Amino acid sequence: MSEKSLIVENLVYGGFGPVSFNLVAGECIGIFGESGCGKTRLLRSIADLDPHQGSLSFNDEDALSMPASTWRRRVAFLPSESQWWRDRVSEHFPLPPGEPELGSLALQPKILSAEVSHLSSGEKQRLALLRALKNSPAVLLLDEITAHLDSERAQLTEKKIAALQSEQNLAVVWVSHNIDQLRRVCSRILYMAQGGTIVKEELVK
């Protein structure tokens, strides 16, 4: 077993599964399958947000051995529709991202003072990524995070994730309906059938 590995073993969730795979530091794997096959619920279960059976561990530590909040800081889930609970963007950041961080995703510093209700879906999604990174996760679970972005901003997001993999050894599980995107960003793609089982693995690079 490699150091700093996410191990998913015989995970059963909401009638889906079982699913087993491992993910090492710095690696990005993709999950691809038709709508309704359980991809999002898989990510939510790995993040310990939904009930599940089976085992989850990171760096030889079982998810059950720590508070759920601690696990979710290490293994962070970024949904396709980001959640916001205060009026202004800045209120969601104890330490606001600097201009280089914002600029890496084509965001201007003035966006921090904006009202969340005035943001586009794409702006919310990119800000949600920066917000998740403030907790310094070891694993990111990404659910269609570029679905609301044009091709240029989607590529910036891909570049940002790749840099984090290289610089911080961030591990990534990326769900997308865009197989071409997954082949760009992932080293492996797991194909999920209806019912939530993995039926094929494609090695990409």
Give the domain extent around 67. Answer: 5-203
Domain CATH code at residue 70: 3.40.50.300
Residue 99: what pLDDT? 96
Residue 3: what pLDDT? 60
Residue 128: what pLDDT? 96
Residue 1: what pLDDT? 41
Cα distance between residue 62 and residue 114, in whole Å: 40
Spans of the chain below 50 pLDDT: 1-2
pLDDT single digits (tens) 156-193: 999 999 999 999 999 999 999 999 999 999 999 999 99
Q: What residue type is assigned to position 147 of the chain?
A: A
Total count of domains within the chain: 1
Nearest to 139 by CA among 109, 115, 164, 105: 164
pLDDT single digits (tens) 108-120: 999 999 999 999 9
What is the 3-state secondary structure of the chain? CCCCEEEEEEEEECCEEEEEEEEECCCEEEEECCCCCCHHHHHHHHCCCCCCEEEEEECCEEHHHCCHHHHHHHEEEECCCCCCCCCEHHHHCCCCCCHHHHHCCCCCHHHHHCEHHHCCHHHHHHHHHHHHHCCCCCEEEEECCCCCCCHHHHHHHHHHHHHHHHHHCCEEEEECCCHHHHHHHCCEEEEECCCCCEEEEEECC
Residue 94: what pLDDT? 87
